Copies of this chain bind each other. A is one copy, B any other.
């Protein structure tokens, strides 16, 4: 059986607590408990809450961004690319259901820091423009429509996770099974919707 290093145990625990409660709501004691250690040891590895928080945030972001970049750079028609991204995004969210909320919180808490980090990770205006140019040549899609499509894609994929507690209660009789079924269907629905949007816009 694989046994984690203490540092990894801490990061995993912090991930759980920070993502659920945010920077303000999280308690160092709670993270220590979750990791199965004590507060002194926690501070032995991470001097401050901020340092630990950054480690968690950047780790999660790196994982997400790298996956997306790989997909975007893949050589396939734009439509297929969109579908791939939707699919990847969706599995990722499925594995980290509280992630969207966490990132939204971060976007609004310290956008500059987050934006800089993304640039460091290779997700900057240039790389996005590259995609945009591909779209222009490949699909004949107007450049003005690209941001709309891009943001739509994110909204369509992410909303079911952001609002799950409410949607499940109000639209699915608070049945987790039915909501899971809904999520499973969703990938195709979104892909179809985006395909239509592209075809209409070109």
Asked if A165 contacts B200 (CB within 8 A), the reply is: no
Cα A167 to Cα B112 with chains together (Å):
12
Interface flags for A125-159 (1: CB within 8 Å of B; 0: not) read 10010000000000000001101101110111011
Q: Is A193 an interface residue (CB 8 A)?
A: yes
Cα A164 to Cα B125 with chains together (Å):
15
Asked if A162 contacts B107 (CB within 8 A), the reply is: yes
Chain A contact patch, size range: 35 or more
Q: Is A114 an interface residue (CB 8 A)?
A: yes
A112 / chain B contacts, CB cutoff of 8 Å? 169
Asked if A124 contacts B170 (CB within 8 A), the reply is: yes
A98 / chain B contacts, CB cutoff of 8 Å? 108
Would you give the shortest CB distance from A60 to chain B, in whole angstroms? 15
Would you give the shortest CB distance from A173 to chain B, in whole angstroms? 7
Q: A24-B22, A25-B24, A101-B108 are in contact. Are A159 and B169 (CB under 8 A)?
A: no
Asked if B185 contacts A196 (CB within 8 A), the reply is: no
Q: Is A38 an interface residue (CB 8 A)?
A: no
Q: A22-B24, A147-B182 are in contact. Are A154 and B158 (CB under 8 A)?
A: no
A25 / chain B contacts, CB cutoff of 8 Å? 22, 24
Partner of A170, one of B108, B125, B196: B125
Cα A186 to Cα B155 with chains together (Å):
13
Asked if A185 contacts B107 (CB within 8 A), the reply is: no
Q: Is A64 an interface residue (CB 8 A)?
A: no
Interface residues of A (CB under 8 A from B): 21-22, 24-25, 98, 101, 104-105, 107-108, 111-112, 114-115, 118, 123-125, 128, 144-145, 147-148, 150-152, 154-156, 158-160, 162-167, 169-173, 182, 185-186, 189-190, 192-193, 196-197, 200
9 contacts between A and B (CB under 8 A): A98-B108, A105-B105, A111-B169, A118-B170, A144-B185, A147-B172, A152-B156, A193-B197, A196-B196
